[in-house]
Every structure is written in C-alpha cells, then in structure tokens.
Amino acid sequence: MKLPFFIFALIVAAPVLAAAPARADQPEAGEIARNNNCQPSKIDVYQVIPGSMGSTIYQVTCNLPKAVEPNAPAGPNGLLIECDQSLCALLRPITLKK
C-alpha cells in the first residue's frame, strides 16, 4: 500500500518541526531590556497572541543592584516586552514578587 505524498511529507517533517528552536524574538527582547537599563537574568514567555498579526509578550526579570538604604521602596524589577516577528517594544515595567 502506497502512502500519498502529503502524508509521507508530513511524517518526515514532523520530527523536524518538533525540534524547531525557540523563537528568535528572545535575543531582541533581551536587547530592548538592556536599552532600558535592565540587565536580564531571565526571559520567560508571558503571553502568546495567536493569529495572522499575532505577537509574543515576554516577561524579563532584571538583575538590579542592591539598595543602599535597607528601607528603600521596592521599584520595578521586571519588564514586559512585546515582540511581533523580530520587532520588539517595551510595554511597561512591572514589579515581580520574590
């Protein structure tokens, strides 16, 4: 019994598609974070917006210097960055729980 060509192509392509690397947006998100005075320690996918005009929102955790005063108010220690293909922009700073 012969398999139709498209089924054969799907069987051959499935392992290749499953082994695809992470999105190429992550390095661009890290660059946007560095441009906004945030040395990224961790970049996580926060939300994926599907569709033809879809995008990915990344949550970037920043390495911040230690505060000089022990009772200094905690400021934002993370960023939300939205990437559409390879174009990324800062959405807003956020305060992450420790």
pLDDT single digits (tens) 59-88: 999 987 776 677 766 678 899 999 997 799
Residue 81's contacts (CB-CB under 8 Å, 6 or more residues apart) are: 29, 32, 33, 57, 58, 60, 88, 89, 90, 91
Contact call for residues 37 and 64 (beta carbons, < 8 A): no
pLDDT of residue 52: 87
DSSP state of 17: H
pTM value is: 0.68
Q: What is the pLDDT of residues 7-55, one digit of tens each?
A: 666 566 655 444 444 456 899 999 999 999 899 999 999 999 998 888 9
